[in-house]
A and B are shown apart, each in its own frame.
Chain A
Amino acid sequence: MSANAARSIDDYLKQLRAALEGQDPALIQDALYDAEEYLRAEVAAHPGKSEADVLELIASTYGAPEEVAAAYRDTEAKVKAALKTPVPAAAAGASGWKRFFGVYLDPRTYTSIFYMLLALATGILYFTIVVTGLSLSFGFAVLIIGIPFFLAFIGITRVIALGEGRLLEAVTGERMPRRPVHPGPPAGWLKRIGEMLADARTWTTLLYMLLMLPLGIVYFTVAVTGLAVGLAFSSLPVLVLARWLGWANVTFSDDLHIGFWTVSEYSMVSALFLGALGVLILTLLMHAARGIGRGHAHLAKALLVVPG
């Protein structure tokens, strides 16, 4: 091994991080967590020995950073191949029509729409937690309970960051961490708080949680509007046909205004035209949802994972 043997846990983690350079940040977080957990347990299991003595044996038990990095890379490649959702056949075909409507076959489309609808609820929740947590932290700062309160508040945001990542991975397939951030060696409360305040990720996580409210409102509105208008329009031909055949007594209570064009009595022609418009709106919504899911996952990664 080219690198010098690590003499401390921090050293080892630094070498492991260097060996994983270029990998997905979520994978790096997982690997560092596992290694830190093992190393701290190993040091704690040998109270008589110094950290450097324990670390000397690590290369032959846990493995040198390069070996461990290789194991994570291999496993990741295998898991990715196994879990990858098959690309719908339409996406492979070059035809524009097939690609346009192929979005209906992609499971990610539907999970993304689900996420957009859910985002309003989670957005309100996250925003409330951050605003309440921050203001109470300031308020309690002069009291003795200010310290544990702030630690608990930041702890909760980390759990939420992990949970949000798991949800987004399920929805969009973007690789997100499966382990939280390792809290590091046991330390005094004030030292802990100092570390949290100095950690850029603490602040980007809070920013993400605040951003979720406006984003959640936009996502929810787009999804509900698109679904309502698209489904209503695309069902018109069926309703008008049912009325024409006398199967159902459908009455349309309101005139429909689109620009200068007013539809008051729905003929089959206008219903077919509006039906096609509805399908177009639905399909565009599907594309938008998939794009929003992908974009949002990248935003989440940039704010919740990368700054670590």
Chain B
Amino acid sequence: MDDSQARKFQKDLNAGLVALVLLAVLERSPEDLYGYEIAKRLQKVNEGEALFKEGTIYPVLRTLAAGGLLTSRVVPSYSGPPRRYYRITDEGRSLLAQWSGIWRQTRGFVDRFIEGTDL
């Protein structure tokens, strides 16, 4: 099996998961975070081979904010351009709870086949 098939599979999986992970990160965080900070938190967790590239989270953050799942505010920064800080909304929280349920269900379902316990 070549590498590109593995990458494509990972990319297909990530399509919905990036949004779920971002919502979870922002839900756990006591303070508002900006894009670079979020990217660094993800990097810290997946040491070694990253599951997804940090460049892919920015468009997703923006989509979530446009959908009302996150709110954002712009804060001027001394070291560069203003930063956009994100915070999860109540709507985002309830969606996260729902998605987490779906994710656990999916994971359990897939695992049962992969580990072959039910076949």
Interface residues of A (CB under 8 A from B): 30-31, 34-35, 37-38, 40-42, 44, 60-63, 67-68, 71-72, 74-76, 78-79, 83, 178, 180, 182-183, 186
**Cross-interface CB contact of B53 among A30, A31, A63, cutoff 8 Å:** A63
Interface residues of B (CB under 8 A from A): 15, 35-36, 39, 43, 50, 53-56, 58-60, 62-63, 66, 79-81, 83
Q: Is the CB of A178 within 8 A of B62?
A: yes
**Majority secondary structure of chain A interface residues (helix, strand, loop or mixed):** helix
Query: In the complex, what's the smallest C-beta–C-beta distance from B65 to chain A, in angstroms?
Result: 9
Q: Is the CB of B59 within 8 A of A71?
A: yes
**Majority secondary structure of chain B interface residues (helix, strand, loop or mixed):** helix
A/B interface sample: 23 pairs, CB < 8 A: A34-B55, A37-B36, A37-B81, A38-B39, A40-B80, A60-B50, A61-B43, A61-B50, A62-B39, A62-B53, A62-B54, A63-B54, A63-B56, A67-B53, A67-B55, A67-B56, A68-B55, A78-B63, A79-B63, A79-B66, A83-B66, A178-B66, A183-B80
Query: In the complex, what's the smallest C-beta–C-beta distance from B42 to chain A, in angstroms?
Result: 10
Query: In the complex, what's the smallest C-beta–C-beta distance from A185 to chain B, in angstroms?
Result: 8
Q: Is the CB of B59 within 8 A of A37?
A: no
Inter-chain contacts of B50 with A (CB < 8 A): 60-61
Q: Is the CB of B35 within 8 A of A34?
A: yes
Q: Is the CB of A37 within 8 A of B80?
A: yes
- CA of A96 to CA of B59, assembled, Å: 41
